Amino acid sequence: MSTLSNLSDQQLNTSVPHETITGVVERLTFYSVESGYTVARLVRPRATELTTIVGSFANIQPGQTLQLTGFWRDHPQFGPQFQVVNYRETKPATLTGIEKYLGSGLIKGVGPVTARRIVAHFGLETLEIIENQIDRLIEVQGIAKKRIKLIKNAWETQKAIKEVMVFLQSHGVSTTYAVKIYKQYKDEAIATVTNNPYQLATDIYGIGFLTADKIAFNLGVAPDSEFRYRAGLIHVLGEAAADGHCYLPQPELLKNVIKLLITESHEPKENAIADIIKDMALKDDLIREKGEDQTLLCYKPTYFHTEQNLAQSIHNMLSQPVAQDMPRVRAWIDRFTNSRKIQLSEQQQLAVEMAAYSRVMILTGGPGCGKTFTTHTIVSLWQAM
């Protein structure tokens, strides 16, 4: 079974009543290759109209028979829709269903005509033959050995996708994330997640430390795993960056990481994390610099190099002022302010003059101090120049 969601986990865990429906995918209205988000139309037994289903699927094609669990919602524009929470694929039970399934494009090398021939020859045993005795397809008119190999590879790929989805779902991964994981790692998905689930936080947009930590817990990764400690350090530095800090002093970093990693059964030791910080610094996974008071400052490498490059760029610009006829600039400012019957304060006048000869300038001040008015004057000066 695969779990999927277009809503947040919190929304899905509400008291919305769930039910299970079964049907055959008639057509795809929309499918995103990147996210797996899908809008499809489903044929349900004894239903007089097609059912619209919405969710994220690793792979979906017309002709697939699906058992879907979810809830109904009324879209203001498109009417009733079934929001899928989890699903599993079942084998089609009729010859027509098998034929449509094979000819849907799910398996490269098998189109509608070939599917019709295969089903006509093997009947209800068709899928069993493809699964366990695929070489028998040579019995079907028009299928050569070369095409059998192509069909076999395509069939194995579909099986691999299903195996990955089942594995990830069994460890609490939603299909929305499972789709991203499979697209990132392909056949290496299970091995990667098993070896180091925290790699997901580095490689896949939308999967942060907290999600990776839940996956790791479900996989049985120890709370004192070095992978967990390293990922926790990077996460805390990333959170600090979101608050506007390029770095954290090591004592503060240690305190925040321990707070993040502590569980009911495990409390990280400060010296253990300090050792990992030291090792990460040696491998350039983390940058450490001594501050003016000799306190160790810890950076994510991205922020360190960005800060260094930005500082160097600003230094270069400041060291090459624009040659400017300042008496002429001041005369222009006087004419501009007199013609508009306005008066610049001393600081505003300085800002306008500085903008005339500086390659970079920061204009700052509290509310109501005239930043917008000063900026308008600067722009008018540049236009005149």
- 321 in any annotated domain: no
Indicate if the pLDDT at residue 50 is higher than 90.
yes
Question: Residue 37 sits in a domain of what CATH number?
Answer: 2.40.50.140
The per-residue pLDDT for range 153-202, each reduced to its tens digit, is 888 887 777 788 778 877 878 767 887 888 888 888 889 999 999 999 99
pLDDT range class, residue 11, cuts 50, 70, 90: very low
Q: Above pLDDT 70, what percent of the chain?
A: 95
Does 308 reside within a domain? no
Residue 320 lies in a domain: no
Cβ–Cβ under 8 Å, residues 276 and 229: yes
For residue range 338-371, what is the model confidence (pLDDT) as tens digits? 998 889 999 999 999 999 988 998 999 888 888 9
b/e per residue 331-367 (b: at least 16 CB within 10 A): ebbeebbeeeeeebeeebbebbbebbebeeeebeeee
Task: Confirm whether 45 is domain-assigned.
Answer: yes
15 pLDDT tier (thresholds 50, 70, 90): low
What tokens does 177 get?
A: 């994330």
Identify the CATH number of the domain in which residue 139 sits.
Answer: 1.10.150
CATH code: domain of residue 231: 1.10.10.10
Number of domains observed in the structure of the chain? 5
Kindly state whether residue 374 falls inside one of the protein's structural domains: yes
Q: Which two tokens stand for residue 299?
A: 């950076």
Shared domain for 11 and 64, answered yes or no, is: yes
**Domain shared by 20 and 79, yes or no:** yes
HSE-up of 339 (CA within 13 Å, CB side)?
Answer: 8
Residue 7 has pLDDT above 50, yes or no: no
Structural domain that includes position 259:
226-302
Note the pTM of the prediction, 2 decimals.
Answer: 0.64
Is residue 358 included in any domain, yes or no? yes
186 is a domain residue: yes
Confidence bin at 13 (pLDDT 50/70/90): very low
- Mean pLDDT of all residues belonging to the chain: 88
Q: Is residue 5 scored above 60 in pLDDT? A: no
* pLDDT, tens only, 77-91: 889 999 998 888 887
* 267 shares its domain with 341: no
Q: What is the mean pLDDT of residues 92-96?
A: 77
Phi, psi angle pair for 270, to nearest 5°: -60, -40
Phi, psi of 383 (to 5 degrees): -60, -40
pLDDT in tens, 299-317: 999 999 999 999 999 999 9
Q: 371 lies in a domain?
A: yes
pLDDT digits (tens, 9 = 90+) for 105-130: 767 778 889 989 999 999 989 888 98
